Amino acid sequence: MNGATPLKDPLDLLDLPSTLTDEEREIQATVAKFLADRVRPHIGEWFENAHFARELAPELGKLGVLGMHLDGYGCAGTNAVSYGLACLELEAADSGFRSFVSVQGSLSMYSIWKWGSEEQKQEWLPRLAAGEAIGCFGLTEPDFGSNPSGMRTRAVRDGADWILNGSKMWITNGGIADVATVWAQTEDGVRGFLVPRGTPGFTTQDIKQKMSLRASITSELYFDDVRLPDSARLPHAQGLRGPLSCLNEARFGILFGAVGAARDSIQSAIAYADSRVQFDKPISAFQLTQKKLADMSVSVGNAALLAVHLGRLKDQGRIRPEQISVGKLNNVREAIAIARECRTVLGANGISLEYSPLRHANNLESVLTYEGTSEMHTLVVGQAITGYPAFR
């Protein structure tokens, strides 16, 4: 052995930190330190036991990552790149925690912040930002995922109130949420409603036997003649523009988060390859292993640069939906391929929860599908290129 020092962070290969401001690097390091102390020592056990550590919600609130890219109401008001870097570190620990923060901040809180009344904002946003309350976002239904315009959940007027009936599926945080943002068909098009837990007729059921996102709560929501006052309606949202704007916020966090899962997988593979000795030398000294590590490091570096570029566009107010689709499509696709390849570097040990790549690969199977499947993002990009909406 020649005493070489392996690269600890594959993102250093292209000097990604040099593209960030001091404040952005500090935020990223602070989130990483929290996760190293409070999540990483336990995540294998939590994943195995399908446990979400709800008690960490107030700690995440104190850390400032819940709705961190929003202004006012107890939110940190950071730039988009800082939010993305926080998502990168969260998903490097586990996709379940990035999902929790994404749903809390970019779906639940953003829907209220963007489309809610001042009273709704004052009631919910400070509590959600502090992690004292948990939110979820009900759009997907059992038969309507990629085609939300076909949703069957319906709200009809009854005097001054609304009566809500229907169901939602695959809802992160649903079983523990204190308030659900629920999208429903009305005579005036799709509208959003805030449904607090405990409202008569509103029930949830957690989805069990998952092989992915096990350290996260995923639920079904049921609405059986749920009576809501008109003050529960998000007054400024009408049509699919409301929920789709929220999804773009969440997708932005995902394209950074996927980089985190890939980076963590590569770090695990590099450390293992340097310590695993075969034929009297570490396997990191073999050509095939180095090819794997080199290809993956180039790929994750490109994905990270794409994420930061899109973050800069978002901070300038110039990002377009199809650009977010490019980011999610590319970065999740690359991340899942990297996680799977890293598992091969670890050999049989790669199936153990002692190592992260296969856990990341399993989680990324969900990330590949939610907030828009890879197929739908492909067609969004295709429409941007050709002008033809092939999914209609």
Q: Catalytic residue positions?
A: 371
Task: Give the side-chain half-sphere CA count within 13 A for 210.
Answer: 25
> What contacts 24+ positions apart, CB below 8 Å, involve 24-32?
24/79, 24/81, 24/82, 24/85, 27/78, 27/82, 27/85, 27/86, 28/82, 28/85, 28/86, 28/88, 28/89, 30/63, 31/63, 31/65, 31/85, 31/86, 31/89, 31/90, 32/89, 32/92
Cα torsion 88, 92, 97, 98 to 10°: value is 20
The Cα–Cα gap between 228 and 193 comes to: 8
Torsion angles phi and psi, residue 42, rounded to 5 = -115, -10
What separation in angstroms does the CA of 147 have from each of 86, 244, 314, 372, 373? 30, 11, 26, 10, 11
Residue 362 CB contacts under 8 Å (≥ 6 apart), including other chains: 211, 212, 214
